């Protein structure tokens, strides 16, 4: 009996060590949009992420205060919570929505099925578009296409709602991302974004350990940088296309259980090991340190889960605003 326990312990330690070595030897650093597309193509083709995370490549919402919940149910709940928080549940069926960085279309399908919206989902990964199309019943008003969030192929003012979950950290130019999100929104339309953010480091710069953790979080999942909640809200407002101010919220507490739950899925669903074999097991173990670092970073305040809501100003309101800005500038230069 003792021998079996010792053997199991030794095997677990060896696997852990192997995971750590692979983790440090093969980071998936951001290089360009192509490297992001390649990462998501791989994650889609091997099916492991979908097996454990389901149709939603985003964190779950565990309630306020958070309570124990099924991992996949928490992800679906997230979409409904975001709809309510954004006020989208008051919009009529037929509302047009652009889902920016749509993954394999989990949110897009809920928005079409449960709210009657006409949804267009875009992602930079061709394999995600293929899989999203496979998963979508023909009677749902959802279409998917490859597109770059930094240079969207849609004309100005195309959609009633622009929606995006956890795509922002992949954008090297956050100001351009903010502009594109608002450019394709119709005047009076609503933008709702949910994203991983870093704490605002303009007053207190990141210390040595925080920099080290952030670097791993960036390098492991093809992220060029995380914005801060405050910084991204300012970038949205700086486009001059926001009516009033951007509303933000911090959903770190509501989403925090997702990180350890992601690891827990690997333990409570051992059929994944049979399905994906040794390679699958190694690939899954390789992600464990990033999940733990994410939990650490979000739990310690280094990272924050940011929510953003903005209404697109109509052009006359925008010109009045820019005219009053000019008048304010002129009068300050006169005085």
Ligand X SMILES: C[S@@+](CC[C@H](N)C(=O)[O-])C[C@H]1O[C@@H](n2cnc3c(N)ncnc32)[C@H](O)[C@@H]1O
- Site residues (vs ligand X, CB under 6 A): 33, 36, 40, 56-58, 101-103, 106-107, 122-125, 128, 148-150, 165-167, 170
Residue 202 is classified by DSSP as: S
Q: Determine contact, residues 132/108, Cβ cutoff 8 Å.
A: yes
Question: CB of 246: closest distance to ligand X in angstroms?
Answer: 20
Q: What is the edge-to-edge ordering of all strands in the sheet holding 142-146?
A: 142-146, 118-123, 96-100, 159-165, 185-198, 303-311, 247-250
User: In this structure, how many other beta carbons lie within 10 angstroms of the beta carbon of residue 216?
Assistant: 17
CB closer to ligand X out of 33 and 257: 33
Question: CB of 259: closest distance to ligand X in angstroms?
Answer: 14
CB closer to ligand X out of 36 and 313: 36
Question: CB of 240: closest distance to ligand X in angstroms?
Answer: 23
Question: CB of 222: closest distance to ligand X in angstroms?
Answer: 8
CB closer to ligand X out of 168 and 313: 168
Hey, CA dihedral for 24, 26, 31, 33, is it positive or negative?
negative
Residue 167 is classified by DSSP as: -
CB closer to ligand X out of 123 and 198: 123
What's the rounded Cα separation, in Å, for the pair 295 and 165? Answer: 18
CB closer to ligand X out of 146 and 213: 146
Q: Determine contact, residues 58/75, Cβ cutoff 8 Å.
A: yes
Question: CB of 69: closest distance to ligand X in angstroms?
Answer: 17
CB closer to ligand X out of 83 and 313: 83
Q: Is the peptide bond before 65 cis (omega within 30 degrees of 0)?
A: yes
Question: CB of 112: closest distance to ligand X in angstroms?
Answer: 14
Residues 6+ apart with CB under 8 A from 172: 30, 150, 224, 225
């Amino acid at each position: 009996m003792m021998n079996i326990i010792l053997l199991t312990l030794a095997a677990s330690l060896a696997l852990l060590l192997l995971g750590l070595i692979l983790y440090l030897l093969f980071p998936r650093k951001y290089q360009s949009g192509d490297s992001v597309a390649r990462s998501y193509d791989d994650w889609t083709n091997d099916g492991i992420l979908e097996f454990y995370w389901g149709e939603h490549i985003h964190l779950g919402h565990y309630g306020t205060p958070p309570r124990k919940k099924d991992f996949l149910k928490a992800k679906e709940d997230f979409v409904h919570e975001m709809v309510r928080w954004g006020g989208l549940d008051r919009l009529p069926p037929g509302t047009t929505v652009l889902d920016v960085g749509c993954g394999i279309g989990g949110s897009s399908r809920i928005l079409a099925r449960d709210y009657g919206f006409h949804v267009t989902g875009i992602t930079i990964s061709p394999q995600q578009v293929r899989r999203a199309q496979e998963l979508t019943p023909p009677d749902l008003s959802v279409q998917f296409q490859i597109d770059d969030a930094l240079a969207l192929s849609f004309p100005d003012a195309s959609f009633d709602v622009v929606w995006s979950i956890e795509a922002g950290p992949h954008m090297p130019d956050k100001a351009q991302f903010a502009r594109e999100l608002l450019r394709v929104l119709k005047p009076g339309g609503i933008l709702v974004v949910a994203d991983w953010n870093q704490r605002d480091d303009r007053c207190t710069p990141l210390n040595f350990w925080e920099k080290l953790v952030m670097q791993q979080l960036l390098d492991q999942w093809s992220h060029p940088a995380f914005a801060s909640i405050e910084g991204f809200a300012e970038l949205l407002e700086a486009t001059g296309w926001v009516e009033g101010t951007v509303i933000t919220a911090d959903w770190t507490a509501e989403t925090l259980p997702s990180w350890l739950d992601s690891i827990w899925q690997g333990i409570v669903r051992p059929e994944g090991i049979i399905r994906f074999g040794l390679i699958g097991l190694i690939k899954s173990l390789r992600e464990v340190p990033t999940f733990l670092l994410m939990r650490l970073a979000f739990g310690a305040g280094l990272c924050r889960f940011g929510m953003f809501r903005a209404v697109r100003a109509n052009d006359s309101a925008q010109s009045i605003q820019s005219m009053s800005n000019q008048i304010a500038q002129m009068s300050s230069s006169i005085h």
